[in-house]
Amino acid sequence: MDSPACFQVIYKHVGQQKIDVDVYLPSSQISKRPVLINIHGGAFMLGSSKMVNRHQVQDFLNRGWIVLAPNHRLCPQVNLLEGPIQDCRDLLAWVYDGGLEREINETACYPRYRSCLCFWHVLGRHSSPLLVPRPVAGIYDMYGPCNFSDSFWTTKLPHLKVPAGLSESFMNKVFEECPVPITGGVSLEGQSTGPPDFSDPRQAYALMRLANGTLLDAIFPSKDWDVVDPARNISPYFPPTFIAHGTADSKVPIGLSRELLRILKDHGVHCGMSEIPEEDHTFAAKMQVGSRTWELQRLGFDFLESLI
């Protein structure tokens, strides 16, 4: 299928740097529409707004939702809290303060959208959407990392094949990128862009860190998990949350999401989980519309819609 049409706007400035978001609008122009923020994955170091699943975006548009696919600053030059999480928080603040509505109404192609925002949903492949100061209406967490003190996060992953001979000096060129990148490398989810390119220092650095069990050292060296781990930030007032996770996930074990679900239930949070049989991490990259995997992960969309 062709990619749904979108336009790009700036939601944040960091000095001279502009951080943008892709805006997808449903075809019919009526007021009071839900907004879904679709945050790409990539171990906080890779990916971009263009690497979200176009079939999922179209499903949201068919439901009459406005879809935002943002870029955010990538680790490791900036840490997880000050980069990806802060940018996602600032995107939400921009939407709440009327930035999205102003951009839509000032765009000549969309003059009839007025008062278009009413509910906020978040679809995310990492923990950023779970840690926002002003609650959203609901969260759909697709195989996102959590429970950062779990021993898994320091475990080597030998099944991730990284070429021998990658030097530290080569991979550390990632720290020379200026300004801090907001797009980078291969997709670890969404639309597949082919195999990793180990001639790119950013891709080599990220995948080496994943393989060696040192990802968290790279993205959040302070290890103050209380401020970035969604599992440590659940309360009875946490937004309703749905989780989808593949039972064969080899990059983020499903047990981490099962534990998050337990914590949500213990706090009385409205929640649910879809365990996707035999699927590995980033199954969104290859799932076919109408397949069992598609229908099971789509339960998360129905969960969000039930909150409206």
pLDDT at 110 over 90: no
pLDDT in tens, 57-69: 999 999 999 999 9
Handedness of CA 267, 304, 29, 23 (dihedral sign): positive
Q: How confident is the model at residue 304 (pLDDT cuts 50, 70, 90)?
A: very high
- Residue carrying the six token digits 């680790």: 75
Q: How far apart are CA 95 and CA 281, in angstroms?
A: 30
- Sorted by sequence, the CB contacts under 8 Å of residue 172 that are 6+ apart come out as 201, 205
pLDDT in tens, 27-70: 876 667 889 999 998 899 999 999 899 999 999 999 999 999 99
pLDDT in tens, 270-297: 999 999 999 999 898 889 999 999 999 9
Please compute the mean of the pLDDT values over residues 140-158 and round it to a whole number: 94
Q: How far apart are CA 90 and CA 132, in angstroms?
A: 9
Mean of the per-residue pLDDT values of the chain: 89
Please compute the mean of the pLDDT values over residues 225-246 and round it to a whole number: 93
pTM score > 0.85 for this model?
yes
Q: How confident is the model at residue 115 (pLDDT cuts 50, 70, 90)?
A: very low
Q: How far apart are CA 185 and CA 90, in angstroms?
A: 24
Q: Which of 38, 91, 49 is nearest to 182 (CA)?
A: 49
Q: How far apart are CA 135 and CA 36, in angstroms?
A: 13
> What domains can be seen in the chain, in order of their start residue?
6-306 (3.40.50.1820)
